[in-house]
Structure 1
Amino acid sequence: MASPFPGMDPYLEHPEIWPGLHLLLIAALAESLAPQLRPKYSVSVEVRMYETTGEQSLLVGIPDVAIQKSQKQQNNQPVNVAVASPTSQPVLVQVPMPITVRQGYLEVREVSTKEVVTAIELLSPINKRSGRGRQTYVTQRERVLSSSTNLVEIDLLRAHEPMPVFGDDLPSHYRILVSRSQIRPQAELYKFNVTDPLPAFRLPLRPDDQAPTINLQKLLDEIYDRSGYDLKLDYQQEPVPELSDAEATWLDQLLSEKGLRPIA
């Protein structure tokens, strides 16, 4: 079954859903590109380790919707604060534990030289959320941007702060950055919202090579259908993170037209 949305399905951004989609989309990109790049180039899935501590580690695996609900409940409670007696019994608490998160990305290498020509990154919350994970990714990003390696950075998450670029004054839900080493610091930035189809773009390689086109929308639609996401997503609920009022009205109308919500 096809996704009811014309582009990115915002329900796929849920913290419990996104990790699985990330793996599938990375694999689909590799499978799609490999036959188009041979025999000069090869594409491989690489894994990077992210370490995080503090509050971030306590939130791993906990859906944002549960966190928001808990915060709202706490905010609605009376402001009277009971002061613990020195003779009271200890309470059980949790301490921030360091955790390691594994995340895949793609490298396109020239077969003859083994040199990395293009890095393809699909961002996850740990890349965008403030903390050690973001710092690790930004350091790696700067390393690539200061090298002769092309960079493709795909951001299909509305939550948290986008990666920094200059000359981008208008906000958007999603972004794809295509940075070709030979024209830096200039880069191509594709911006789109939940109401828009995902744009197709050309994968940067060597300047004289014919670049294959990445049809991200087609790949995402195929993953949605093959993996049965229509059976996993609850379109009766609101997406996480929530949309604006105007976008929520559009979403409600769209889902009603698709028969996934009762007509108001």
Structure 2
Amino acid sequence: MASPFPGMNPYLEHPELWAGVHLLLIAALTDSLAPQLRPKYRVAVEVRIYEITREKSLLVGIPDVTIKRQTSVTNPTISNVAVAVAAPPVQPLTVTIPAPETVKQGYLEVREVATGEVVTAIEILSPVNKRSGEGRKAYKIKRELVFKSATHLVEIDLLRAGKSMPILDNNIESNYRILVSRSNRRPLADLYAFNLQNAIPSFPLPLQEGDPEPLVDLQSLLNGLYDRAGYDLVIDYSQEPLPALSEADTAWADGVLREQVLR
């Protein structure tokens, strides 16, 4: 079944679904680009590992402590003699500690076969990149290093939640973004800023000068993985998406879903 939305499906942003969508989108990009780039280039799938501490506020539904209630026993014998009663033995409490968590995030590199040089880095942002913490700091460092190098950067942000990656034109607002930063044009870059109602724009993949650049049709790739992975079987469109939509987007999405008899 096809996705009911013309562009990004906001239900795919759900925290329980996004990790799988992220992996499938990386695989779809690899399958699409690799045949078009051979034999001069290859697409390498890389993995970045973050060690983060899960904040207490993120532990939804997990109690801070569990206290076992002691049962009292009443002695029916009445006595005027005061007897010292020993306190019950202390029982341990179950608590939650800020244990570090390992987060693995995949990304793509287009490499020249002859030299192994990284020509283009392709990043699909995850929540760890868009919220404050070590994951965002680490990615920003990598991003700045790419900006100082001869490597092109394609940065795909299909998540409404969190803080967008910095650009100098901070007044640009949109639900989603695709940044195409060519090394020979910096500090200028192409920003595809689009919203829930828009189809995901296609963009050329930057390569070495003079080489034909394949057009990346991210919308078709996302529609294909939605169908193959059977997301229509697990998404309940009678519920609101998470993260929540704005009031205007909620009304628009409701109309789209009702038109397709999904509500």
Counterpart of 2:37 in structure 1 is: 37
Which of 174, 177, 187 is the matching residue for 2:176?
Answer: 174
Counterpart of 2:18 in structure 1 is: 18
Amino acid at match of 1:137: Y
CA distance in 2, matches of 1:116, 1:170: 30
Instruction: Give deviations 1:222-261, integer Å, cap 9, x for gaps.
Output: 0011111100111111111101111101111110000000
CA distance in 2, matches of 1:245, 1:106: 36
Which of 188, 191, 199 is the matching residue for 2:190?
Answer: 188
What does 1:1-264 align with in structure 2 at a 5 Å threshold? 1-55=1-55, 59=58, 91-261=93-263
CA distance in 1, matches of 2:260, 2:183: 44
Structure 1 runs (4+) deviating above 6 angstroms are none
Unpaired runs of 5+ in structure 2? 64-89
CA distance in 1, matches of 2:46, 2:221: 20
Seq. identity, %: 62
Amino acid at match of 2:23: L
CA distance in 2, matches of 1:201, 1:215: 7
CA contact (8 A) 2:130 2:136 kept: yes
**TM-score of the superposed pair, with normalisation by structure 2:** 0.86
Question: Which of structures 1 and 2 has the bigger CA Rg?
Answer: 2
CA contact (8 A) 2:54 2:101 kept: no
Instruction: Give deviations 1:15-63, integer Å, cap 9, x for gaps.
Output: 000000100000000110001001111101110101111517x738x6x
CA distance in 2, matches of 1:59, 1:101: 15
CA distance in 1, matches of 2:5, 2:196: 8
CA distance in 2, matches of 1:243, 1:252: 11
Unpaired runs of 5+ in structure 1? 71-87
Alpha-carbon RMSD across the aligned residues, in angstroms, is: 1.9
Amino acid at match of 2:113: V
- Kindly indicate which of the two structures has a greater share of residues assigned to helix: 1
CA distance in 2, matches of 1:173, 1:126: 17
